[in-house]
Amino acid sequence: MKVKINDCYYEGIQGETLLDLAKRNNIEIPSLCHKNGFEGQGRCRLCIVEVKEGKKTKVVSSCVYPIKDGLEVVTNSDKIIKMRKDIILLLLMKTPNNEYIKNLASEYGITAPSRYVDLNNNENCILCGLCVKACEKMGTSAISFVNRGTSKRVSTPYDDPSKDCIGCGACAEVCPTKAISLIDKDGIRTIWNKEFHLVECSVCGKYYTTKEAIEFIDSKLGEISDKHICETCKKKIISEKFKESFENYY
Ligand code: SF4
């Protein structure tokens, strides 16, 4: 199936969204609430593009728009750039001191009018929902959106330490604006008002995850792992094994 993006034609794969197709072909479309391996959410609206189907043109969120044969797409028309700038301005007014959003705004040449901005506002969350998705994908769903309207935010139920939270830190890892407080100190991780004991990697000796996260994964796999190895060491071991078998083969 052929899709035209900004004057060039690209071969799409059944089931792809416009953003998937663009990313696969190194076409820049900004997005905040999209992460590889996650389904699109259409939440931040930064990935809007103009789509022409037949005689009709419309603005859609590319992360949730499925590709179709013959689709014509423009990712950077004046209209789209103007709309993106408006979205970024709103984000900047919500989180005026957040470094990530400030950098994004300066990339687009945006400054928020000072009379509308509270410079003492240290809000960092842009409500993109990635942390909630990551927690859901871990199979824990310890956090969710709470409240509505301007007081909407992400938290555990009643802001209490959640019995479901395993302290894995996936939420903090995916957060684009570093809005989630995760503190690792003296072998203790503090996140979402709860403390966890950190576990050391049996190879490099660095703390890398929590006891609860290991137990949770073991319970899902139905086995108890006696060796605790961090991702960096796992990768090193695999690449050394690969190198060894390659050398033996030749
Ligand atoms: S805490 Fe971060 S990941 Fe979660 S909704 Fe807010 S900005 Fe998005």
Residue range of the domain that includes 25: 2-76
Q: What is the pLDDT of residue 108?
A: 94
Q: Is residue 116 part of a domain?
A: no
DSSP states of 84-132 as a string? HHHHHHHHHHHSTT-HHHHHHHHHTT----GGG--TT---------HHH
User: Which is more confidently placed, 237 or 17?
Assistant: 17
Q: Is residue 196 part of a domain?
A: yes
Q: What is the pLDDT of residue 249?
A: 76
Average pLDDT over residues 159-163: 96
Pairwise CA distance, residues 102 & 110, whole Å: 9
Q: What is the pLDDT of residue 221?
A: 86
Average pLDDT over residues 197-201: 95
Are 59 and 50 in contact by the 8 Å Cβ rule? The answer is: yes
224 pLDDT exceeds 80?
no
User: What Å distances lie between residue 157 and 46, 105, 125, 192, CA to CA?
Assistant: 29, 33, 18, 10
Question: What distance in angstroms lies between residue 115's CA and the mean position of ligand 1's atoms?
Answer: 26
Pairwise CA distance, residues 205 & 37, whole Å: 30
Both tokens assigned to 156 = 């555990």
Atom of ligand 1 nearest to the CA of 171: 3
Both tokens assigned to 4 = 């035209």
Question: What distance in angstroms lies between residue 133's CA and the mean position of ligand 1's atoms?
Answer: 10
55 pLDDT exceeds 90?
no
Average pLDDT over residues 45-51: 97
Q: What is the pLDDT of residue 153?
A: 97
206 pLDDT exceeds 80?
yes
Q: What is the pLDDT of residue 11?
A: 97
Residue 244 confidence class, pLDDT cut points 50, 70, 90: confident
Q: What is the pLDDT of residue 165?
A: 98
Q: Look at the chain and report how many structural domains it folds into.
A: 2
User: Which is more confidently placed, 246 or 151?
Assistant: 151
227 pLDDT exceeds 90?
no
Average pLDDT over residues 62-73: 96
53 pLDDT exceeds 90?
no
Q: Within this chain, do residues 142 and 225 fall inside the same structural domain, yes or no? A: yes
Pairwise CA distance, residues 9 & 234, whole Å: 41
pLDDT digits (tens, 9 = 90+) for 83-136: 999 999 999 999 999 999 999 999 999 998 888 888 889 999 999 999 999 999
Query: Given the structure tokens 């792809």, which residue do they identify?
Result: 16
State percent of the chain over pLDDT 70.
100
Q: What is the DSSP letter of 161?
A: P
Q: Within this chain, do residues 165 and 233 fall inside the same structural domain, yes or no? A: yes
Mean pLDDT value across the chain: 94
Query: Given the structure tokens 């929590």, which residue do they identify?
Result: 210
Give, using CA atoms, the residue closest to atom 7 of ligand 1. 125
Q: Is 101 in the pocket of ligand 1 (CB under 6 A)?
A: no
Q: What is the pLDDT of residue 115?
A: 86
Residue of 97, 177, 182 to test ligand 1 pocket, by largest number of atoms within 8 Å of CB: 177
85 C-beta neighbours (distance < 10 Å), count: 14
Are 91 and 123 in contact by the 8 Å Cβ rule? The answer is: no
Q: Is residue 50 part of a domain?
A: yes
Q: Is 177 in the pocket of ligand 1 (CB under 6 A)?
A: yes
Q: Within this chain, do residues 134 and 43 fall inside the same structural domain, yes or no? A: no
Q: Within this chain, do residues 52 and 149 fall inside the same structural domain, yes or no? A: no
Q: What is the pLDDT of residue 246?
A: 77
Q: Within this chain, do residues 207 and 144 fall inside the same structural domain, yes or no? A: yes
Q: Is residue 123 part of a domain?
A: no
Q: Is residue 45 part of a domain?
A: yes
Q: Within this chain, do residues 60 and 135 fall inside the same structural domain, yes or no? A: no
Pairwise CA distance, residues 207 & 11, whole Å: 45
State percent of the chain over pLDDT 90.
82
Are 37 and 20 in contact by the 8 Å Cβ rule? The answer is: no
Q: Is 146 in the pocket of ligand 1 (CB under 6 A)?
A: no
Q: Is 112 in the pocket of ligand 1 (CB under 6 A)?
A: no
72-74 and 2-5 beta bridge pairing: parallel
Are 93 and 87 in contact by the 8 Å Cβ rule? The answer is: no
Helices vs strands, H then E, count in the chain: 7, 11
User: Which is more confidently placed, 157 or 244?
Assistant: 157
37 C-beta neighbours (distance < 10 Å), count: 8
